[in-house]
Amino acid sequence: MKAHAAKPARPRTLLSALRHARKALCCRLQAALRQPDPDFAQVFGTLVAEVEAIFRHEELIMGTLGYERLREQREENAVVLSALHRVLPQVEAGDAALGRTVMGALLEVLALHRLSVGLAPAVALHAPPQRVRGSAARITQRVTLHNTLRAGTRPRAAR
């Protein structure tokens, strides 16, 4: 099954995939930062490729969820990737200090992105209405709608 075949009716699953991928990337970056300089310089290109793959994966999921700021997120990702690709030749030539500086800054950017990737409330409010079957599902849907309206927000379909 292809990744883009995921159903937007399952936003929690997709958000979980986003969080998991981001957390795994941060762990790999931190592990690489603990390596000696020659090893770090050797692994740097692989890390750049992983960051690029994770960003593509996140953009695909955000597009599936109908994330309203997808364009801005892509622009931010492009700036990060541009910086990584710009220093890649220097790091591979042995400038591990530059690579460590860039990776440290990347970890800080990823921490900030983690806040913007917390889309659960936005996705829940902007998810298209779905047809439910069974009395328990209908009751759950009504309770969710009621709680949302009590909180002072309205789902997109009700606006």
| pLDDT confidence of residue 138 | 58
Within 8 A by CB and 6+ apart from 44, the residues are 32, 88, 91, 92, 99, 103
129 pLDDT band, cuts 50/70/90, is low
Nearest CA-CA partner of 50 in 25, 75, 74: 25
Q: 53 vs 47, 57, 69, 80, CA distance in Å?
A: 10, 6, 19, 13
Residue written as tokens 């793959």? 53
Domain ranges of the chain: 9-118, 128-159
pTM of the model: 0.65
Tokens representing 6 are 């995921």
Tokens representing 104 are 């440290």
9-118: CATH architecture: Up-down Bundle (1.20)
Would the CA dihedral through 116, 118, 124, 128 be positive or negative?
positive
Would the CA dihedral through 107, 109, 110, 114 be positive or negative?
positive
Contact 10, 130 (CB under 8 A): no
List, for residues 55-99, the tens digit of each pLDDT value: 998 888 888 888 888 898 899 889 999 999 999 999 999 999 999
9 pLDDT band, cuts 50/70/90, is low
List, for residues 12-52, the tens digit of each pLDDT value: 787 788 888 888 889 999 999 999 999 999 999 999 999 99
Nearest CA-CA partner of 91 in 46, 52, 43, 41: 41
130 pLDDT band, cuts 50/70/90, is low
| pLDDT confidence of residue 97 | 93
